Structure 1
Amino acid sequence: MKKPEPPVRRASRRGDESRFQWWDRFRQYLRDVVYELRKVIWPSRKETIGSTSVVLVIVLLCAVYLGLIDAILSRLVRIFVG
């Protein structure tokens, strides 16, 4: 009878990583983030104010529209259930 072979030991997932290699990867990630942010073309103050104004007007119009729909439907429900 053949003797069973011992289980093959797999290399750990970390391999030969040092305990602090994660810190090096994190620092590299932060360097890459800073590098990419330097390439961003940021909007001017005028563009930012213009975009913000457009968003606020659209939100206000949506709020008024939904408020009117809600008021109309509430009155209809009160009339029928009422």
Structure 2
Amino acid sequence: MGAAGKEVTKTAAGKEPRKASKSGEGAWVKTQQYFRSVWTEVKKVHWPTRSETTVYTGVVFLTVIIVGLLMWIFDSILSFFLNLILK
């Protein structure tokens, strides 16, 4: 029993559990735990190979070009008809 009549619990190593001080030590421990868990999740990510990345980039560029061309065509057609109506 402790000095005030309360039982003091100890960890398996025989030491008293650490308590977070008011100086922000608890926040530091939480920050470390957060970044450890982030690193664990990053290691689980399936990263694409260089060739996969090249193919994906090509698909994105091709899609952007096709959508851009379609928008240009529709804009040109609508502009043509609008000019006919306004003249």
> Secondary structure of the residue that 2:72 maps to in structure 1?
helix
- In 2: Cα distance, 1:61 partner to 1:36 partner: 36
Q: 5+ unaligned residues in a row in structure 1: which ranges?
A: 1-15
Q: Choose from 51, 59, 64 the match for 1:59.
A: 64
Which SS does the other structure have where 2:76 is aligned?
helix
Of 16, 19, 22, 2:27 maps to 22
Q: Of residues 50, 55, 58 in structure 1, which corresponds to 2:55?
A: 50
TM-score computed with the length of structure 1 as normaliser: 0.73
Deviation track 1:18-40 (CA, whole Å, cap 9, x = no partner) reads 43122221211111111111121
Q: Report the aligned-residue RMSD.
A: 1.6
* TM-score relative to the length of structure 2: 0.69
In the alignment, what sits opposite 1:75?
80
Q: Percent identity?
A: 33
- Which residue among 38, 41, 45 is the counterpart of 1:36? 41
Comparing 45-54 with 16-25, greater Cα deviation is found at 16-25
Moved more, 16-25 or 62-71: 16-25
Question: Matches of 2:30 and 2:53 in 1, distance apart?
Answer: 35
| 1: CA distance, partners of 2:20 / 2:43 | 31
* Counterpart in the other structure of 1:9: none
What's the counterpart of residue 8 of structure 2? none
Runs of 4+ more than 2 Å apart: 16-19
